[in-house]
Structure 1
Amino acid sequence: MRAKILLLAGFLAVTAWAAEEGAVALSREKALLLCSEAEAFFHEANELGQTEPARAAELCRKAVARYERVLKDSELKNARVYYNLANVYFRMEDL
């Protein structure tokens, strides 16, 4: 009985670990889509900066969230992504 419980506990631990690993990794296509969305949010924020500052700030936060997810959950880690993220933070005056 004890062996069955240990076997079940081990199986559940491995299954949970595998599910977590699968949920974290983004495909290259999904990472590129998130970058594209972030760039669109950033450009829209720049257009609205003078007329709608609250909306522009919200768009910047959305852009930051997408860039940070790409950097955290994908293999797409390059100078362009970091540069774009830095530009959003600069736009938000959060350096």
Structure 2
Amino acid sequence: MLFILSWTIRHDCRNKAMTRFIESGGALPPDGVTMLGRWHAVGRRSGFGVAEANDVTLLQKWVLNWSDMLDMEVYPAMTDEQIAPLMVSALKQG
């Protein structure tokens, strides 16, 4: 299943978060979670990523590892191919 992750580094944790990110080799997710892409907002302390996991508990474990410095939100996501049939069905139902 796909997930969208968004984060904001807390103001008072900026340097600690950057250090942890660099020292951890880019904050790689645990086994069982695949990071498909990650983007950082220019000039801000925020960003978002797309990850894939079959076990949401592994994703939660990863989020908890950063919850001391980042405010994070995680949303289930669908591709165009996955959501299109649902849209067709909804349109047929009126």
Fold match by TM threshold 0.5? no
Q: Which has the higher helix share?
A: 1
Q: Aligning the two structures, in what range does the TM-score lie when normalised by the shorter sequence?
A: under 0.3
Task: Name the TM-score, length of structure 2 as normaliser.
Answer: 0.26
Larger radius of gyration: 1
Task: Name the TM-score, length of structure 1 as normaliser.
Answer: 0.26
Q: Which has the higher strand share?
A: 2
Relative contact order, higher structure (CA 8 A, sep 6+):
2
